[in-house]
Structure 1
Amino acid sequence: MPSFCRTRRASGLFAAAALSAALLVGSPLGVSMAHAQQAAAPSAAQVETARKLVLANGEARAFDGVIGNIVDGAALSFLQTNPDLVQHLREAAIAVRPEFEKRKDEIIDMLAKVYAQRFSEAELKDALTFYTSPVGKKLVDERPIIVQDALRQIQAWGAELNGEAVERVRAEMRKKGFDL
């Protein structure tokens, strides 16, 4: 899969993950749990359950293209000093990418620790039960499409709102004697 396709997919999934995380943290339960859980370090069982959760809820997949993009960016950073090496740099990035892709578990572990700091083991198990249920799996599978559709609708809405705002500002400026 080309790098730019992975980036687009990852950014869409990342937006979904960020949105769901923001909703959880923004809820009263998320805020109170955040304060309560930050006081004590999470247990190994909490972290392991949280790890299973981020794999089940699709958030781990949100970072599928991140490592490849970082490696590609590192290789292409040398273009500034020698633009003639573009093909060789791409080949070098492809050659070293598998070495770094092995480190994806580090991302999953970071996500798991964040969850484990904010949710009890029982809460994590409840969430895991949901995400491994048929409706939970469907939510994970449909989330990228839902987010993509929602973003498309929000962009269209934003463009329409912008047009209305431009006309209203123009009308207000006309009242002040300015014809924009």
Structure 2
Amino acid sequence: MSIPVSFLRSAALAALLMAGVGSAFAQQPAAPAPTAPTGPSVEEIMKTPFLPSHLAVANDVLKASGMRTMFENSMPNVVGALRVNVTRQRPELAKVIEECLAIVEKESGNVMNEGVTSAARFLAVRMSEAELKDVNTFLNTPSGKKYVEILPLFMDQVMPFIEIWSEESGARLSKIFQDEMAKRGHKL
């Protein structure tokens, strides 16, 4: 049960909800393309000045929510991929490759911390330091810790339900729409 999977499941949940709404109106003309997310660009976020305390509490929220583990878990994958790919291409250099990868593994901690600090900026730009402190306080309560702990299991269970619900709801709303159009003399 890892939080990165939960994060992906959350994104999938949002996509399923949007797909369900879309299928409900499948007979309608296509809607205009969605607009870009509002708010500052990545470049603007990275240049925005923050108090160190603001970034520190945003980092604490990432850790308490389990989101920091996405960064922690990605580093072994990078090193492992390098190990497999380079050793496969140049097996005669296996010893030298391992020596170099030991240095890369040591540096991966710094790289991971840079990623977390950058991610903290995305929270800090959208929430005040006081709001982040409130979130962090909740996440560190027994209820907040339980929420973080059960979220992956919840997503595992709710995703199949949402998929079925989305299809059934789309069909139901589409039928209501077709019936209403028929009442007005328009058979679809």
Which of the five TM-score ranges fits, normalised by the shorter chain? Answer: 0.5 to 0.7
Residue correspondences, number: 138
Alignment of 1:6-155 (within 5 A): 9=2, 11-15=4-8, 34=39, 41-78=49-86, 81-82=89-90, 85=91, 88=94, 92=98, 96=102, 98-103=105-110, 104-153=112-161
Post-superposition Cα deviations, 1:87-142, rounded to whole Å, max 9, x if no partner, equal x48x8399526414423322221221111111111111111111112211111111
Contact 2:55–2:124 (CA under 8 A) maintained in structure 1: yes
Q: Which aligned segments of 4 or more residues in structure 1 are displaced greater than 6 angstroms?
A: none
**Greater C-alpha radius of gyration:** 2
Indicate the structure whose relative CO is greater, using CA pairs within 8 Å and at least 6 residues apart. 2
Return the letter of the residue paired with 1:99: K
How has the CA–CA distance of structure 1 residues 114 and 99 changed in structure 2, closer, same or farther, with 3 Å as cutoff?
Answer: same
**Alpha-carbon contact 2:4-2:67 (below 8 Å) kept:** no
* Cα distance per residue 1:28-81 (max 9 Å; x no partner): xxx88x46x969532222101111111111111233320111111223233663
TM, length-normalised to structure 2: 0.55
Distance 1:40 1:48, change over 3 A: same
The percentage of aligned residue pairs carrying the same residue is 22
RMSD over aligned CA atoms reads 4.1
- The structure carrying a bigger helix percent of its residues is 1
